[in-house]
Chains A and B, each alone.
Chain A
Amino acid sequence: QVQLQESGPGQVKPSETLSLTCTVSGGSVSSGSYYWSWTRQSPEKGLEWIGYIHNTGSTNYNPSLKSRATISIDTSKNQFSLKLSSVTAADTAVYYCARGTILTSADGTWGQGTMVTVSS
C-alpha cells in the first residue's frame, strides 16, 4: 500500500524559498499511471491546488502562484519536491503531497500534511 510523507522546515522567513519533500513508500514515482501533486490548505483560502508532476517530468502549476512554484521528481530517491519562492505570510498553510491517477484525475492517496508558517 503506497504511503506518502511530507518533510521540510516548519517555518520560513518572508521573501525566502519554501522547500518540501514528499517521500513515497510502497510504490514508485516512476510509474506512468500516476501524477504527483501538491495541495495546500489555509483558513483564508481553503484547499488550493499548487501543481503536479508526472514521471516524464512534465508539470502543471496553478497560475495563481505567479510562477513561484517548482515541482521536481527524484526517481533515485523515490521522492518529489516543491519549492515556492518569495514567500509571504499568505503562503502559511498546511501543505499536502498526493498521488493522483491519470485515468481518473483524482488524488486518491495523500500524505498527512505538514504545517509551514511564514514568519520572521
Chain B
Amino acid sequence: DIQMTQSPSSLSASVADRVTITCRASQTISTSLNWYQQKPGKAPKLLIYGASNLYSGVPSRFSGSGSGTDFTLTISSLQPEDFATYYCRQSYSSPGTFGQGTKVEIK
C-alpha cells in the first residue's frame, strides 16, 4: 500500500493567516491526490481533487499543488469556519489511502 504522511499533525493559526499543509506519498502518485476537510462529528468534505482542482462550491481561498510524491494544501486567508482537520488521500492505486490528518486549531 502507498503510505501518505502529512505534516504537521497539528497547527495553531489565527484568522486571516496563510496556512500550508503538506502531504508526502511513499511512491509517486502523479497528481492523483485529493484533499478533504472534516469537522467534529461530520463526514469528510472534498476540497481539492487531482492535486489542484477546486471542487464545486469550495471557496477559492483553498488551493492545492504538487505532483509525484509531494503535495501542499494552502488556505490563503484562514476563516473561522476553516478550523477543522484536513486529510489527503491518494487515488493512484488501490487501496486508496489517507494521511493521518492535520488539525488546524485557533491560536
List chain A positions with a Cβ less than 8 A from chain B: 46-49, 60, 62-64, 96, 98, 104-108, 110-113
- Bound form: Cα–Cα A108–B57 in Å: 11
Q: Are B46 and A107 interface neighbours, CB within 8 A? A: yes
In the complex, the 3 A-B pairs of residues with the closest C-beta atoms, listed nearest first: A105-B91, A106-B49, A110-B43
Q: Are B43 and A112 interface neighbours, CB within 8 A? A: yes
- Bound form: Cα–Cα A113–B42 in Å: 8
- Contacts A49-B96, A112-B43 known; list 13 others, CB within 8 Å: A46-B100, A49-B97, A49-B98, A98-B43, A105-B34, A105-B49, A105-B91, A107-B44, A107-B46, A108-B55, A110-B44, A112-B42, A113-B42
A to B contact number (C-beta, < 8 Å): 51
Interface of chain A: mostly helix, strand, loop or mixed: strand
Most B-side CB within 10 Å, residue of A64, A108, A111: A108
Residues of chain B within 8 A (CB-CB) of A60 are 94
List chain B positions with a Cβ less than 8 A from chain A: 1, 32, 34, 42-46, 49-50, 53, 55-56, 87, 89, 91, 94-98, 100-101
Residues of chain B within 8 A (CB-CB) of A108 are 46, 49, 55-56
What's the least CB distance linking B68 to chain A, in Å?
Answer: 17
- Bound form: Cα–Cα A104–B44 in Å: 17
Residues of chain B within 8 A (CB-CB) of A107 are 34, 44, 46
